[in-house]
């Protein structure tokens, strides 16, 4: 008779807090063991978690952090989203390059200089200050609310486009959605995004020791996942509000091009691929070498 799976107390608490079942923990057992082995081979280790909006990157990062802390390791997490530029900084980029850069999301809307500084301090085993971004206000939190931590054994860095390489120029010729058709007919915006991805983001991605990819499989899932994510977002402040379904449908178009490119290319580049169902269940797991 097969022995039933029993969760540790910390795993049970994590699942209760995130409304997950035991299968989530059981499926991630091999990933946790693989990651522990990578750390034994060399520390500090920067683990990248890449995946579309709403795919579960933050939850996975939180779980792996908790698992590694249980082993006595010093671990923390940061998101690419926490490096978003302020509205004023994006407005300047919109004026200088293209109006669509006012909307946060794509390469070119993050403070890559700050991200590089954080990763450099991590590599040097120095104390870190990890930025935090307030999505409800579309502004970075003041530095007084940033997270301070001592030197780390592991930094988990998660983000929707982590590891994605720039697209070939010929791939940028035709618009792929209504946003590009109506607001970027000459391709100036998407070519600029591609340039930022190549020039400013590839040096960051090269700092990832290992990359785990949550593969949505199909971009059609992303808008629904993003809506679910929005509904769960805790908002506060008189100016904060949730995006409507229509606004989310528009918003995810900013991410469509590179999300689809990642679905096509990252399986051949990542160290571990978790393929997801439309309900975000893990269907298959490849890698773990």
Segment holding 237, helix H or strand E: none
173-191 in b/e form (b: 16+ CB < 10 A) is eebbbebbeeebeeeebbe
pLDDT of residue 224: 84
62-98 in b/e form (b: 16+ CB < 10 A) is bbbbebbeeeebbbbbbbbbbbbbeeeebeebbeebb
The number of beta carbons lying within 10 Å of the beta carbon of residue 289 is 6
**3-state DSSP assignment of residue 79:** strand
Alpha carbon distance 79, 161 (integer Å): 11
Segments of the chain scoring below 70 in pLDDT: 1-4, 231-242, 289
The runs of H, that is alpha helices, within 85-187 are: 87-96, 112-123, 178-183
pLDDT of residue 140: 96
- Model-level pTM? 0.93
Nearest-5° Cα angle at 54, 101 to 188: 20
pLDDT of residue 177: 96
Alpha carbon distance 125, 252 (integer Å): 37
Alpha carbon distance 236, 205 (integer Å): 33
SS3 per residue for 9-66: HHHHHHHHHHCCCHHHHHHCHHHHHHHHHHHHHCCCEEEEEEECCCCCHHHHHHHHHH
């Amino acid at each position: 008779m097969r022995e039933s799976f029993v969760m540790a107390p910390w795993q049970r608490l994590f699942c209760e807090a995130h409304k997950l079942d035991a299968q989530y923990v059981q499926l991630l057992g091999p990933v946790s063991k693989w990651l522990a082995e990578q750390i034994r081979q060399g520390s500090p280790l920067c683990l990248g978690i890449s995946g579309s909006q709403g795919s579960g990157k933050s939850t996975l990062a939180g779980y792996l952090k908790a698992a590694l802390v249980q082993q006595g390791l010093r671990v923390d997490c940061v998101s690419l989203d926490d490096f978003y530029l302020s509205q004023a900084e994006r407005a300047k980029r919109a004026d200088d390059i293209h109006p669509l850069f006012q909307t946060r999301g794509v390469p070119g809307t993050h403070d890559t200089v700050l991200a590089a500084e954080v990763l450099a301090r991590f590599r040097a085993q120095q104390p870190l200050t990890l930025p935090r971004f307030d999505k409800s206000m579309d502004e970075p939190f003041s530095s007084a609310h940033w997270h301070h931590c001592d030197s780390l054994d592991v930094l988990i860095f998660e983000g929707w486009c982590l590891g994605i390489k720039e697209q070939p120029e010929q791939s940028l010729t035709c618009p792929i959605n209504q946003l590009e058709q109506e607001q970027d007919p000459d391709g100036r915006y998407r070519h600029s995004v591609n340039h930022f991805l190549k020039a400013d983001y590839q040096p960051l991605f090269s700092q990832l020791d290992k990359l785990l990819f949550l593969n949505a499989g199909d971009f059609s899932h992303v808008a629904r996942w993003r809506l679910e994510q929005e509904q769960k977002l805790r908002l506060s402040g008189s100016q904060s509000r949730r995006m409507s379904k229509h606004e989310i449908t528009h918003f995810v178009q900013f991410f469509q091009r590179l999300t689809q490119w990642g679905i096509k290319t990252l399986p051949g580049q990542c160290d571990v691929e978790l393929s997801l169902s439309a309900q975000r269940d893990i269907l298959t797991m490849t890698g773990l070498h």
